[in-house]
Amino acid sequence: MTPFFFGPVERRLYGVYHPPAAASRTALQVLLCAPFGQEAVRTHRLHRLLADQLAGQGIHVMRFDYHGTGESSGDDADGSLTQWQDDILAAQEELGRRTRASETVWVGTRLGGTLALLASQRSVPHPLRIVLWEPILHGPTYLQELGDAHAMHTFDPFIHARRPSSELHREALGFGLGDHWLQEMRNISVQSMRPACLEGCYHIGTEHTPPAELLSGQLKARGLGWRHLPTKTQVAWHVEEAGSASLAPPELLRLMASAVKGEAE
C-alpha cells in the first residue's frame, strides 16, 4: 500500500492506495468512505482488511481521511458535510488518475455512506454501485444518539450532581464539532438525497429500517437497483475508543467484498 497526500496546499488530504495484484488485475476501482468520530476509529481495521482483500483480488482500492479528520489537514471543528462530499469527489479524481479504471464502486460506512449518497449526485462519471453499511439516513436521530452517548460517557457521579444535557455543542465522544456541521446534520433526511449511480445500492445492516425502505423505493422508482443484505453483526456504535475493540468480523468482510463485486445474493 502507498500512503500519500493530495489536494490543494490549503486543504491537504491523506490517502492510502492499495494497488491490485498484477496477476488478477481487473478494471474495477473502489473508494472507501469512512464514518465519523469513534465509528471511524472502530472501523479503521475493517476498512484496511477489506482494502487488502480486494486488492489481492485485482481491484484498485483507496482509503482517505476527510479534511479535519485523521491525518488530513485541519481541525475537528473545521468539519463540514458539504466539504466532506467535496473530499470524496477529490479522492475519486485522485484514484482515477492513478488507475485509469473504467468502473468505480464506493463503499460507505455509517456517515460515510450518507456522504457517498449525497456526493454521488455531483460525481462525473457516477459510481457503478454504492455499498452502504448502516448509513445515517436521518440526521436528527443520529445527533440524539450521539448526544445521549456523549452525556453517558462524560457523566461522573463524583463530579456531576446530575447527568449532563444530551444536546451536542462542541464535542461528541472526544471529537470536536462545529456549528455548521451540526446544522447540516439536522437537515439530513432521505428526502434530501437523490443518489446517482449506474446500477444501484447494496444496503448492509441488521434490519431494513423505515428510512432505508423509503430510500429503496426512491431508487427503484428511478430504475435503479436496491438489495438489502442482512448481517448478524451488531455494533454498539456510540462508545468511547478505550472501551471498544476494533471491528473486523469475517462475515461482514465477506458481505462487503461480495457487494463490491456485485456478487452478493
Q: What are phi and psi of 165, to 5 degrees?
A: -60, 145
The cell for 108 is 460507505
What number of helices (H) and strands (E) belong to the chain? 7, 10
Q: What is the mean pLDDT of residues 225-254?
A: 78
Residue 162's pLDDT is: 60
As a CATH number, domain 2-138+195-260 is 3.40.50.1820
Identify whether the C-beta of residue 107 lies closer than 8 Å to the C-beta of residue 33: yes
d(CA 181, CA 80): 5
Mean pLDDT of the chain: 89
pLDDT band, very low/low/confident/very high, at 18 (cuts 50, 70, 90):
very high
- List, for residues 143-152, the tens digit of each pLDDT value: 999 888 877 7
d(CA 88, CA 68): 14
d(CA 230, CA 216): 15
Type of residue numbered 34: A
By DSSP bridging, strand 13-18 and strand 60-65 are antiparallel
Of 80-84, 127-131, 183-187, 235-239, the poorest mean pLDDT is in: 235-239
Residue 243's pLDDT is: 47
Residue 247's pLDDT is: 72
Judge whether residue 176 has pLDDT over 90: no
d(CA 146, CA 167): 9
- Supply the DSSP symbol for 189: B
In 3D space, the residue among 136, 112, 117 whose CA is nearest the CA of residue 127 turns out to be: 117
Q: What residue has cell string 477529490?
A: 90
pLDDT over 70 percentage in the chain: 90
- List, for residues 60-71, the tens digit of each pLDDT value: 999 999 999 999
Domain chopping of the chain, boundaries: 2-138+195-260
